[in-house]
Each structure stands twice: as C-alpha cells, then as structure tokens.
Amino acid sequence: MKFILAKICVIYLTFISISCTNTKTKDDSHHSDAIAYTEAECDFGDIQSPINILSQRTKGIIKSRINIEAHCNAVENKGHTVQIDFDSTSKLTFGDDRYSFKQLHFHTPSEHQIDGITYPMEMHMVNVLDNDESDKPHFLVIGVLFKMGKENAFLNEFLNKIPRDHEGLVKVNEAEVNLEDLFGSYDCEEMKHYFHYNGSLTTPPFTETVSWHVNQVIFEASEEQIKIMNKIEGNNARHIQDLKGRYVEKEDLYVSSK
C-alpha cells in the first residue's frame, strides 16, 4: 500500500512540474502563439491579470493624456484570437513615454469583470514601450468591453476579412479598417473615464510589466458579430486573478488620435 501511495505522489509531482514548464514560452509578446488561456497553475507573481474591478472600491481620480497614431495594415486569424496589426509608424504617447502600437485583439468572453459581471467580448490594444533598457518589455494595454446590443460599425469593417485558416493573414489599409470608427461614435466627455491598475500579460509568460487602462464605457456589438468572433477564436479568456493588496484607480484619460 505504501509503495502504491509513493508511486501516486511521484506521478502527481511530475504532472505539476510539466504543467509549470509548459506554460513558459520564449516570446514575451502580449499574446504568443501558445494557447493557454486558463488560470495559471503555478505562482506567477503578485500582480496578475485580469481582475474583477469593483467600481465602488477604487481610489482617487488621476488625470492623464494619451495621443494615438494608428495605421492598420493586416487582419490575422491567430487560431486563439482575432488580431488587427498596425504598421511601424503607429505610436502611442502617454505623458513622457512613447510606445509602439503593435496590435489589438479580442477575447470571448471578456477577461476583466466589472462588479462581478463578465461581458461577452473584450478588446485589448497592445503598446510596447520604446527604448526600454530593462530585461523585460513594458506594455500599456487599453481594454474595451463589449455587451450585446446594436451592430458595431468598426467590427463590420474587418469581420468578413478574417482568414478562415489558422495563422492566415489578410493585408488591409487604414481606409478599410479605421480605429476612429470605434471611438468616434462616443462623446469625448463620456469616453474619458477609465480604470487603471498595474498587472500582467494574460497569457504565458504572464510578465508583470503591464499598465492596464480599462474603459468604463461598455461598447456594443450585435449577437451575430460576437458569435462570429467566438466561432473563430473559441473561449479564450483567462480566469480573474487575486488583487493581492493592489488597488484600482479611476482615471480621466484624455485621448486624441490621428
């Protein structure tokens, strides 16, 4: 009996070791090709993402400004997500920091929760800090949540362009897919309200170098649009993570784009 129990323990510990090893990748980009959207099985740190944002437990209001220059050049089916790529001239400026606007992609359902509510879809705009001399890249990610409602004009610009094959890519230009068509439908005063906190990437290697800015406005997309996205990428949301002493700030973020 003791021999059998010892053997079971060895098998279990081997499984745990393999689980930890398999979550690591050599790529530090926000969403690498490793498909692992489940809750982390190992301890990746104290500031993991996504989180449940409790709107009544936020601290203060910070005021910031973001300038975005976005030029879309491709639509990709990554298998685990739908991704819109931006060219090398696409930039985001946040205070004195300058970022390269790399891509935006989608999760169905949402990764972040607001007051315990999971929405049917979330979009992440991924920016990487320029001239970063640290050993790990630093990211600024803008999160946008979607509820089911009226048809979304921005999504319509690329839904029929998404390649049906995994790893497929279709070239587009900014006249065909324009980010302004998403944000332009909302009033500037309404659009400025965000939640801010420091966290991590939501896929391996879960690097804890992300400044998160989640829009308080819940955008709308039709049931059919959300179903199309989910059919392509599946359920690709990571579970919410513990705050572990962190707090979320309310943020007035003035965004200008061109």
Catalytic residues, by residue number, are: 80
The boundaries of the domain holding residue 169 are 2-257
Over range 208-212, report the average pLDDT: 97
Residue 215: what residue type? N
* Bridge partners for 61 per DSSP: 250
What single DSSP character describes residue 161?
G
Neighbours of 102 (CB within 10 A): 19
pLDDT at 33: 37
Question: Could you give the percent of the chain with pLDDT greater than 90?
Answer: 67
Mean pLDDT taken over the chain: 85
Instruction: Measure Cα distances from 173 to 74, 106, 150, 231 in Å.
Output: 7, 19, 25, 25
Work out the pLDDT band at 41, boundaries 50, 70, 90: very low
Over range 225-248, report the average pLDDT: 96
- Stronger pLDDT, 27 or 211, i.e. the higher one: 211
pLDDT at 52: 97
Work out the pLDDT band at 172, boundaries 50, 70, 90: very high
pLDDT at 34: 39
Over range 219-228, report the average pLDDT: 97
What single DSSP character describes residue 185?
T
The whole-model pTM stands at 0.83
Over range 140-164, report the average pLDDT: 96
pLDDT at 37: 42
What is the tally of structural domains in the chain? 1
Instruction: Measure Cα distances from 9 to 21, 59, 172 in Å.
Output: 18, 46, 54
- Stronger pLDDT, 44 or 238, i.e. the higher one: 238
Neighbours of 151 (CB within 10 A): 12
Residue with tokens 């497929």: 168
Please determine, for residue 4, whether its predicted confidence score (pLDDT) is greater than 50. Answer: no
Start-to-end Cα distance in the chain: 71
CATH (domain of 184) = 3.10.200.10
pLDDT at 77: 97
In this structure, what token pair is assigned to residue 161?
Answer: 């362009």
By the 8 A CB rule, do 32 and 126 touch? no
Q: Which of 6-15, 189-198, 234-243 has the highest mean pLDDT?
A: 234-243
Torsion of CA 108, 109, 113, 114, to 10 degrees: 90
Distance of CA 102 to the CA centre of its chain: 12
- Per residue in 87-136, pLDDT tens? 999 999 999 999 999 999 999 999 999 999 999 999 999 999 999 988 99
Distance CA(94)–CA(218), nearest Å, equals 23
Over range 135-150, report the average pLDDT: 96
Residue 200 φ/ψ, nearest 5 degrees: -135, 175
